[in-house]
Amino acid sequence: MIASERSQNIIIIAMIIATVIGSGFIIGNAQYYGGSYILAGQLEVNLTDIHVSNVNTTDETEDPSIVLTFNLAIPAQADGNVRITFFGATVWLNNDLLSLTSFSLTPALADQYLYSNFDRNIAMSQTASSTSDRQAIIDAYLTSSWAWNVTLRYSFIVFDEPNTIMWRWFDFYTTDFTLT
């Protein structure tokens, strides 16, 4: 027991102030922690374009190329620490799996972070240099039948901790594309 009532009141007031400040930090940290998972969970991914070029049915030395463009957006308002560390895609054209396994992108570190109102396009491109891929594209060109199945996968980490890596997959089907 403290002898002076004044000293006791000062100690109680100091403890109340410390508690209020401490709880403010706890609430802020909880919002930041929860916001990281909100950002990761609210990421919307859309396939916006498939661009096919250099299709030449007579010149076998010219390889067609494909560019996949995706839009990534977060409509949520949240603060956190989430980084997308890798994008990869698998492409099927008219039920033929293209061997273009290197549709991939590792964003520069500055471009990996997600934030509120995030809205960005990413593009991955590849040249169809194998005979089977080239033939699948030429067959689609000659028949005017372009049915695309695209699986996009990406990895993300939270709080800059590599051990928190998680993966998400999105499947897209479309007959829309751009041919030049």
| Cβ partners under 8 Å of residue 8, min gap 6 | 2
- Please, what are the domains in the chain? 5-179 (2.60.40.10)
pLDDT tens for each residue of the chain, 180 residues long: 566 777 777 777 877 777 777 666 666 555 556 667 778 888 899 999 999 999 999 988 889 999 999 999 988 787 788 899 999 999 999 999 998 657 899 999 999 999 888 999 999 999 988 889 999 999 999 999 999 999 999 999 988 888 889 999 999 999 999 998
- What pLDDT is stored for residue 52 in this prediction? 96
Distance CA 170, CA 151 (A): 6
Q: How many residues does the chain have?
A: 180
Which DSSP string do the residues of 111-130 spell out, in sequence order? G-B--TT-EEEEEEEEE--S
